Structure 1
Amino acid sequence: MKNGPWFLGIDLGTGSCKSIVVDEKGRVLGFGIGLYGGTDPESRWQEQDPRNLMDAAAVSVQSALTRADVARGGCLGLSMGGALHSILALDSRDNPLTGVITWADGRGLHHAEALRGSTTAIRLYQETGCPVHGMYPLYKIMWLREKRPEVFRATHRYVTAKEYVFSQFTGQFAVDYSLAAGSGLLNARKLRWSDSALELAGIREGQLSPLLSPAAKQGSLKPDVAHRLGIPESTPVVMGSSDAVNSSVGAGAVSASQATCMIGTSGALRVISGRPVFDENGRTWCYAIDEKHWLVGGAINNGGIAVSWLKDSLGPVMPPDQSPGELSIEHILDLAGQVPAGAEGVVCLPFFAGERSPNWNLNARGVFFGVTLEHDIRHLSRSILEGIGFRFRSLQDALAGIGLDIRQILASGGFAKSELWLQIVTDALNREMTVPRWSETSALGAAFWAMLGAGGLDRIEDAGDLVEQGKTYRPIPENAALYDQIYTVYLRIYQALLPAFDEAALLSGC
């Protein structure tokens, strides 16, 4: 058993809770995971049962501690991260009135679309740093007010999934700036709740939690929780940040010249800036982290989910010796690797789940262009990966357009386990990309906030010195040159199809 000091980071994600134990030098001692599913009560809804979140958190912490084999009294602090854009309505006794409505839930889309392009939308973006889009909880509260007035009237407070679990840990409600910013309800410049957004939502400031810096200590553990987790009740609880911020911190991207390229189910290109940065065209978002840092970037809906769509669609037509149960993402990546860069003329616009940054086009649809009788599933597989790379090229261009000088890109998320996918994105961006040795960067970032709050770090920037980096991928010149040409075609296809996207959306009713 290890008797030295250690820190605990908890990452409450969209589909699982991951926990990590690190020592005072940031070295990983143990890791655990607890799973929970989602529900789809109606078409385009996505919720989680809040009762499952605490159970998964406890399972992940217990697993991490068992594997770390540390003295339980050595914990100097714990911190929790949470997925952005969730919302949960609670009654006056803090009982849930809804499920946890996640970022992928679509019920706020029409309220957002009704505001798009208006003076209200422009004012909201300049105040909150959030482009008008239905993923933000602001628009889901508007939906509740219109479609579920009885729930809206009975709601005593609105919280994120992390706030709900955090309250189970400590008995107190509080929210860090980043999660608050991701609600669309925070004034990103003044670091207080936005009067304009509250008025639009029809709610009071008192229905939202007090705002805290991610390094702030927030009491200690409730006795029953401490007993369940197996750590002392006196363990300092540090507020922590969002999973997006933690992913960057855990990857070592802690300065304005470093970006994190994350591809999981969705994807994002993010920079931690020392000042709030807004885009006059509203292509990017700007979320407050604390009084000195802001997370600036863009996100895409179609990351790994696009590859999963191809896998799930292909499975039923595969030969009997490769049944749907055997088909995997690795099969798709292997197929993609069998054709050269450029997919021999097939270009994919991977908007299978619509589009977020930079154009925030709900009506965008997936397209395979240039397919002939000479092409097969291998070319479609490669073109999807390349299309996702071009999406990141668009994000990179948008960030450059608002004055961010990115000199280093660090990879995180599931794609960082695939050499082929990493090389494709590297070539599409025509920039080097480095992969941190520890892949669960969001959990590690949460542990770093615990270290900062407990005095183990002087500044969050110091976390970068604790992250061990792995392989660096460099652009292959001929591939990068080819992708430059294809990207121009990709943009022309997108522009040409804009009217058709809108017409198709009307026809499909989506």
Structure 2
Amino acid sequence: MRNYAIGIDIGTTSTKVVLFDEKGAAVAHHSKNYPLLSEEPGAAEQKPDEIYEAVNESLRETVRKSGDLAERIGFISFSTAMHSLIAVDSDGTPLTNSITWADIRSEPYVAAYKSDYGDEAVELYKRTGVPQHPMTPLFKLQWLKNDCPDIFQKAARFVGIKDYILFRWFGEWKTDHASAAATSLWNMHTKTWDEEALKLADVTPEKLPTLQPSTYYWEQLSDVLTKKSGLDSSVKVVIGATDGPLSNLGVGAISPGDVAVTIGTSGAIRTTSATPILDTDGRTFCYPLTENHWVSGGPVNNGGIAFQWIHDILQKDSDSAVHEKLSRDAEQIQPGAEGLVFLPYLTGERAPLWDAQAKASFIGLTLRHDHNHMVRAVLEGTILNLFSVYSLIKGQVADMEVKIFATGGFTNSPLWKQIVADIFQTKVSIPEHTESSCLGAVLLGRFAIGETKTLEEAPVETKQYEEITPNPDHKTIYEELFQLYQSLSETMQSQYKALHEFQNKHKKESGK
């Protein structure tokens, strides 16, 4: 009986492949890292063929580790990081690296569009569900056309990293609706490429992959994939979706009132609804998982990277025990860090500001504050930032019993987990498993091939959660702190452009 399945998650820094049994338990896995290249200011690229080989190696090794269970694998299903862009020629050979979501070289084109188009920019958001930001392929295409015109003209197609891997396997250019939605070129209402967005990008539908629902699948492996994987050719391949929506599914945050919080290097907060829901001011995203499941929320640039930054400043030792000590020492400081507020925009910010020029700051420093206050303020600031995004989507879960499901590296810190519960004043459930996007891909796959009738019927054993209960004594102080945080963030926003220009000017003058 083919009741085992493989989930593949193509991430920003690594590819992970996990074999799951019929109850959602991981039984074999393999991962492969690859570098993020930044050869010029604002660049964040990866080599497509390195990722292709990482996927093949991880799949092959997972199959090898599964032993006799390989005969019981029924399908493979995909998750992928969003917003990547690769220009390819007529043979499918890459003309560029994979330009990732973190690449901000298109920022001038975003600023010009917002300034020049006004109401049209609002309408674009209403059609696509994506805030205007350098992460999106729409503006990457504008940058490519103007800054790399030879490549733009030579390109036969513009595709994402998952599209490229599937092409190498099957010889077909196909993309799923969730990945297409992340490009800002896809119309969520017509479920086709958006005509006005295509004009802005100066591309035609023929230069993009063919659109498919996330439940689309190939009936069997290609000869290439059979050889690469070591699997039987009768295994199906589900096109799948993107990592954010699939993470919601993987942690069980799929019902009304469920909210998923993820903090790794960056972070995100998401909730699921039966129909698309947009923010009136265009500050949240809305991506499809299936026709009847839409995931709304916002990504933040600054999650674990903020804690890593303060750690690197205060402690040069990279030992994990030092991280734990910093967190434990910060527990000595009362909630609110005695009025020290940290705006965590170290790498610009996506939600809720959507400002690539945003800068981080400590506000309220006095002689009373020491490094423990600073660490606590950093941990609180990252969660206050996520809570500000939550404040934009909580209307979707109004009058419901809210459940928060938390995943990511931050769950290794008892203090950080407690801060989440205290700021949200809601119980926080932490799944026992960590590969939520891989599991989400498999659960979507079971629905796609007809093993389950709905996503809500996912055949997963009752998960074991750690539950963090909010401290009611901290409710009032965090409510006050959040109001202060919001006010300070709004005040500082008017200064980010000037700060950015000043920093760039003096970096150049000093030769750095």
- Shorter chain as denominator, the TM-score bin is over 0.9
Is 2:142 aligned against 1:142? yes
Task: Tell me the percent identity.
Answer: 33
- Secondary structure at the aligned position of 1:69 is classed as helix
1:106-185 residue pairs with structure 2 within 5 A? 106-116=104-114, 118-185=118-185
Residue 6 (structure 1) aligns with: 4
Aligned counterparts of 1:246 and 1:204: Cα–Cα separation in 2: 29
Aligned partners of 1:250 and 1:467 also within 8 Å: no
Residue 442 (structure 2) aligns with: 447
Q: Over residues 304-334 of structure 1, what are the superposed CA-to-partner deviations in whole Å (9 max), with x where a residue is unaligned? A: 1111222233344xxxxxx457785434423
> TM-score of the superposition, structure 1-length normalised?
0.94
Aligned counterparts of 1:278 and 1:293: Cα–Cα separation in 2: 14
Q: 1:59 to 1:338 in 2, by over 3 A?
A: farther
Aligned counterparts of 1:263 and 1:179: Cα–Cα separation in 2: 21
Aligned partners of 1:215 and 1:450 also within 8 Å: yes
Aligned partners of 1:24 and 1:456 also within 8 Å: no
Aligned counterparts of 2:104 and 2:359: Cα–Cα separation in 1: 16
Aligned partners of 2:173 and 2:209 also within 8 Å: yes
Which stretch of the first structure deviates more once superposed, 81-90 or 442-451?
Answer: 442-451
Letter in 2 for 1:274: A
Which stretch of the first structure deviates more once superposed, 216-225 or 441-450?
Answer: 216-225
Shift of 1:400: 2.2
Which of 495, 498, 502 is the equivalent residue of 2:497? 502
Aligned counterparts of 1:34 and 1:55: Cα–Cα separation in 2: 9
Shift of 1:418: 2.5
Q: 1:326 to 1:441 in 2, by over 3 A?
A: closer
Aligned counterparts of 1:508 and 1:430: Cα–Cα separation in 2: 39
- Secondary structure at the aligned position of 1:240 is classed as strand
Q: Over residues 165-214 of structure 1, what are the superposed CA-to-partner deviations in whole Å (9 max), with x where a residue is unaligned? A: 12223222211111100011100111111001100000000111111111
Is 2:390 aligned against 1:392? no
Gaps of 5+ in 2: 506-512
- Secondary structure at the aligned position of 1:442 is classed as helix
1:209-224 residue pairs with structure 2 within 5 A? 209-224=209-224
- Secondary structure at the aligned position of 1:39 is classed as coil
Is 2:233 aligned against 1:233? yes
Aligned partners of 2:83 and 2:100 also within 8 Å: yes
Aligned counterparts of 1:47 and 1:74: Cα–Cα separation in 2: 37
Q: 1:328 to 1:244 in 2, by over 3 A?
A: farther
Letter in 2 for 1:390: L
Aligned pair count?
Answer: 502
Residue 353 (structure 2) aligns with: 359
Aligned partners of 2:106 and 2:140 also within 8 Å: yes
Q: Over residues 68-116 of structure 1, what are the superposed CA-to-partner deviations in whole Å (9 max), with x where a residue is unaligned? A: 4343221111111110111111011100000000000011111111122
Aligned counterparts of 2:504 and 2:37: Cα–Cα separation in 1: 22
Q: Over residues 285-311 of structure 1, what are the superposed CA-to-partner deviations in whole Å (9 max), with x where a residue is unaligned? A: 111223222111111111111112222
Aligned counterparts of 2:54 and 2:399: Cα–Cα separation in 1: 39
Which stretch of the first structure deviates more once superposed, 362-371 or 191-200?
Answer: 362-371
Residue 320 (structure 1) aligns with: none
Which of 459, 464, 489 is the equivalent residue of 2:484? 489
Letter in 2 for 1:399: I
Which stretch of the first structure deviates more once superposed, 407-416 or 203-212?
Answer: 407-416
Aligned partners of 1:262 and 1:269 also within 8 Å: yes
Residue 509 (structure 2) aligns with: none
Residue 453 (structure 2) aligns with: 458
Residue 251 (structure 2) aligns with: 251
Which of 350, 369, 376 is the equivalent residue of 2:370? 376
Residue 476 (structure 1) aligns with: 471
Letter in 2 for 1:95: T
Letter in 2 for 1:138: L
- Secondary structure at the aligned position of 1:239 is classed as strand
1:325-340 residue pairs with structure 2 within 5 A? 329-340=323-334
- Secondary structure at the aligned position of 2:491 is classed as helix
Letter in 1 for 2:435: E
Aligned counterparts of 2:431 and 2:252: Cα–Cα separation in 1: 8
> TM-score of the superposition, structure 2-length normalised?
0.93
Letter in 1 for 2:392: A
Q: 1:499 to 1:4 in 2, by over 3 A?
A: closer
Aligned counterparts of 1:108 and 1:466: Cα–Cα separation in 2: 45
Aligned partners of 2:256 and 2:397 also within 8 Å: no
Q: 1:278 to 1:324 in 2, by over 3 A?
A: closer
Which stretch of the first structure deviates more once superposed, 100-109 or 57-66?
Answer: 57-66
- Secondary structure at the aligned position of 1:497 is classed as helix
Aligned counterparts of 2:44 and 2:71: Cα–Cα separation in 1: 39
Letter in 1 for 2:445: A
Q: CA RMSD in A?
A: 1.9
Which stretch of the first structure deviates more once superposed, 368-377 or 402-411?
Answer: 402-411
Aligned partners of 1:256 and 1:404 also within 8 Å: no
Gaps of 5+ in 1: 317-322
Aligned counterparts of 1:267 and 1:126: Cα–Cα separation in 2: 24
Aligned partners of 1:170 and 1:219 also within 8 Å: no
Aligned partners of 1:301 and 1:354 also within 8 Å: yes
Aligned counterparts of 2:256 and 2:354: Cα–Cα separation in 1: 24
1:64-143 residue pairs with structure 2 within 5 A? 64-116=62-114, 118-143=118-143
